[in-house]
Amino acid sequence: MNKFLRGLSLWLVIIIIAVWLANIIGKPGKEGKLTYSEFKNIIKTGKLIECSIKEDSITGVYQDGDEKQKFKTVPLVDPKLIEELEAAGVKYEGTKRNWLGVVFFSFGPILLFMFFWIFLMRQAQGGGKQALTFGRSRARSQIGNNKKKITFKDVAGCDEVKEELEEIISFLKEPKKFQRLGGKIPKGVLLYGAPGTGKTLLAKAVAGEASVPFFSCSGSEFVEMFVGVGASRVRDLFERGRKNAPCLLFVDEIDAVGRHRFSGIGGGHDEREQTLNQLLVEMDGFDTKEGVILIAATNRPDVLDPALLRPGRFDRQIITPNPDLKGREEILKVHARNIKMSSAVNMKVISQRTVGFVGSDLANVINEAALLAARKDKKSVEMNDLEEAIDRVIAGPERKSRVISDKEKKITAIHEAGHTLIANLIPGEDPVHKVSIIPRGPAGGYTLQLPLEDKNYHSKTELLNKVTILLGGYTAEEEIFKEVTTGSQSDLSKATGVINGMIRECGMSEKLGPLSFKKKDGEVFLGRDIIQQKVYSEKTAQIIDEEAKKMVMGCVQRAKKLLHENRDKLEELARVLVEKEVLEGEEIKRIIKGEKEPGKVKKEKKIKAAKNNKKTKDTDKVKEENNDLENNLL
C-alpha cells in the first residue's frame, strides 16, 4: 500500500509540474518580432495601440492596415521612450522582473533533472539490494506466526516417530537435563519414508509444539542458475539459525541437494556439489551447545551422499512407515473431526478396507466422501459414501456413460468371477469383500479382497496363492471362451512381478537356492551403476526365466483345475454379476454355496403354500361333489 501511494504521489507531482510549465511557457504565440527601430517608427506613425514594458522585453499591439498585430522587441536604453508614448497617446504598463520565474527558468531544468536522477538512483539501489539478497536463504520463519498451528494432536498413526520428535523438542527446551551426564544433543534428524506418510506434517507439528524459532525451506530452493547461490543460501540459513538459537531448521526434499557427489555421467554438477559441500561443512561445524537442530525429509534416502548420513550430521534417521490397521483408524478419525459423520459410520471397517493406504490417501478418502455426500444433498456422510470414496481412490470414478456390449459385459463378468471364485476356494485367503463389473478408470471391473489383519511377512505358499488368484481371470476366460483377451494385462504384470520378486530377491526357488539377484532401482543418473558388472551370469538369467515360467504355469494349472471342477459356480456367479453388476461379500458366499436368495426363498415358499392350499381346496371340492352324487343316487 505504501509503495502504491508513493508511486501515485510521484505521478501527481509530474503532472502538476507539466501543467505549470505549459502555463508559464504559454501557448504557441503569434507575436511578430520587431527591431527596436521598427518599434520606434510605429510610435511615430501613431499605429501603436498599447504595449507592456518589461526589463527584458517589450510586447504590445499595433495597427497594420485593417488588422491588429502583436509584436515583441528587445528594449534598449532609451530615457525618452515614456515621453514619446505619452505624446502619442499610447496605453502602456510596466512590470517588475519576476525573480522566481527567472530562477525557475534558469535552474528549473537542472532541479528537475536532479529530482529524476535521485528517484532513478533509489530504484537502482533497491534493485541492487535485491540482487545482493539473491544469495539469502528463502527459509520461512515461524516466529510469531499467528496462523492456526499444527500440533501432534493432528498427527496419528506414527506414535514412535512422534516420541522421537518430542524428545528433540525437549532437547531444545531443557538442554541441561540431557547434558548433565555428558551427552550431546543430536545435530540432525532425517525423516524418510514413502510419499504421503506425513513427513512434512510431522515437521509442521514440531513447529507448532516447539516454543523455539522454526525455519523451513525446500531443497530445491538452494540451487539456482547462478554459481555459488546455493552455498550462499546454506550459509545464510545456518547463520539465521545461530542468531535465533535455540531453533529448528527444516529442509523438505533434501535429496534435491544431497545426492551422491560425482554421480552424473561423465562428471558431476559443480554447483550442486558446491551446495552439498557447504551443507556438510555447516552441519559438522556448528557446536551442539548452540542448540540448532536440522530436520530433513526425503522419499529417497538411497540416493543421499554417505557423508551426509553419517553420525555427527544426521545422528537420527527415523522412518515414517505406512500406518497399520489401528493407525489407519486413528488417521481417519483425525481427518473426520471437522466432517459431519453419521452415527452408523464404522471407522474400523473403513480402516480394514484401506490396506496399504498412507495418510494422504486416507485424507483423500474422507474428503471425497464429504464431497459425494454434499453432491447428494445429504445432512451427513454415511457409510456408503465412504465405501464409494475408497473405490474412487483405488480405481477411479465410475464410467457410467461408457457403452458396453453384452459380449464385453459377459467377458468382464467371467473374468471377475474367476478371481472371486478362486479367492473363495483357496483356504486361508482373505475373503472377497466386493466384486464389480462397472468400469472405473482404466479398469473394466475389479475384485476387492478385505484382509483380516495386516501382514509384514508372506510365505511362499501365500505368494503362490496370490498369483493363482491374479491368474483366475485369465484362466476363467480360457475355460469358458477357449481364448483369452487383453483384459488380463494388468493381472499378468502383477503376477510376473510377484514371481520375479520371489526368485530374485527372496530366495524362494529350489533350483537357485537362497541367493538374491535383486537389481538396483536407481535411475541412470547414478553413473557408477552403468559401468558396474552384472551380479549373475547369462546362464543364471536363463535359469531365473525357467523357474519363473515353471512357477507361473504351476499356478495356471492349479487355477484351471479349481475352475473346471466348479464351472457351474463360475457360470452362476457370472450370471448374477451380469444381472446386478455389483456383489457384496455375503451374497458372493451364498452363490458359491449354492444357497438361494432369502427373498426368493420366501417367495417360493409362499407360491408353494398357495399351490398346496389350492390343491387342498380342489380335493375337498371333489369330495363334496362325490358325496352329493352318492346322495342323489340313493
Does some domain include residue 533?
yes
Last residue of a domain, one of 319, 349, 367: 319
Assess contact for 106 and 56: CB atoms under 8 A.
Answer: no
Does some domain include residue 547?
yes
Mark 146-168 as b/e (b = at least 16 C-beta within 10 Å): eeeebebebbbbbeebbeebeeb
Does some domain include residue 448?
yes
Instruction: Tell me the C-alpha distance between 325 and 357, whole Å.
Output: 10
The predicted pLDDT at position 437 comes to 86
The predicted pLDDT at position 39 comes to 82
The predicted pLDDT at position 316 comes to 87
CATH code of the domain in which 35 resides:
3.30.720.210
pLDDT averages per 10-residue partition of the chain, 634 residues: 60 68 53 79 82 81 81 81 80 66 60 62 47 54 61 85 85 78 82 88 83 82 72 84 84 86 55 82 68 86 87 87 88 90 88 86 91 90 89 77 78 91 89 84 79 81 93 92 89 92 89 80 46 70 91 94 91 90 86 71 52 57 56 49
- Do residues 169 and 111 both lie within one domain? no
Within 10 angstroms of residue 280's Cβ, the number of other Cβ atoms is 18
Rounded (5°) CA angle 521-524-526: 85
Assess contact for 472 and 373: CB atoms under 8 A.
Answer: no
- Do residues 208 and 310 both lie within one domain? yes
Assess contact for 51 and 90: CB atoms under 8 A.
Answer: yes
The predicted pLDDT at position 530 comes to 47
Q: How many domains in the chain? A: 6
* Overall pTM surpassing 0.75 (yes/no): no
The predicted pLDDT at position 492 comes to 93
Q: Decide: helix, strand or coil at residue 535.
A: coil
- Do residues 131 and 147 both lie within one domain? no
- Our answer to whether residue 571 is catalytic in this structure is no
**How many CA atoms does the CB half-sphere of 20 hold within 13 Å?**
10
User: Range of 629's domain?
Assistant: 599-634
- Do residues 114 and 255 both lie within one domain? no
Could you tell me the CA-to-CA distances from 186 to 158, 191, 237, 316 in Å, in that order? 21, 14, 18, 7
The predicted pLDDT at position 606 comes to 52
Q: In 81-219, which residue ranges form alpha helices assigned H by DSSP?
A: 81-88, 99-132, 159-173, 175-179, 199-209
Q: For residue 48, which of 94, 96, 87, 95 has the smallest C-alpha distance?
A: 87
- Do residues 348 and 385 both lie within one domain? yes
Rounded (5°) CA angle 458-462-466: 115
Among 221, 368, 416, 479, the active-site one is 416
Three cell numbers written together for 618? 380342489
- Do residues 169 and 182 both lie within one domain? yes
Mark 504-540 as b/e (b = at least 16 C-beta within 10 Å): beeebbeebeeeebeeeeeeeebbeeeeeeeeeeeee
The predicted pLDDT at position 289 comes to 56
The predicted pLDDT at position 162 comes to 87
AA letter at 304? L
CATH code of the domain in which 197 resides:
3.40.50.300
The predicted pLDDT at position 127 comes to 44
Three cell numbers written together for 542? 536363463
Does some domain include residue 12?
no
- Do residues 337 and 468 both lie within one domain? no
Instruction: Tell me the C-alpha distance between 331 and 607, whole Å.
Output: 52
Does some domain include residue 16?
no
Assess contact for 389 and 530: CB atoms under 8 A.
Answer: no
- Do residues 105 and 166 both lie within one domain? no
The predicted pLDDT at position 275 comes to 83
Q: What is the largest CA-CA distance in the chain?
A: 179
Instruction: Tell me the C-alpha distance between 158 and 319, whole Å.
Output: 10
Does some domain include residue 413?
yes
- Do residues 295 and 273 both lie within one domain? yes
Assess contact for 471 and 559: CB atoms under 8 A.
Answer: yes
Does some domain include residue 8?
no
- Do residues 266 and 386 both lie within one domain? no
The predicted pLDDT at position 235 comes to 85
Last residue of a domain, one of 135, 150, 183: 135
Instruction: Tell me the C-alpha distance between 227 and 544, whole Å.
Output: 49
- Do residues 130 and 47 both lie within one domain? no
Last residue of a domain, one of 269, 292, 319: 319
Does some domain include residue 586?
yes
Within 10 angstroms of residue 93's Cβ, the number of other Cβ atoms is 10
- Do residues 217 and 128 both lie within one domain? no
Burial of 61 (0-12, 13-18, 19+ CB in 10 A): middle
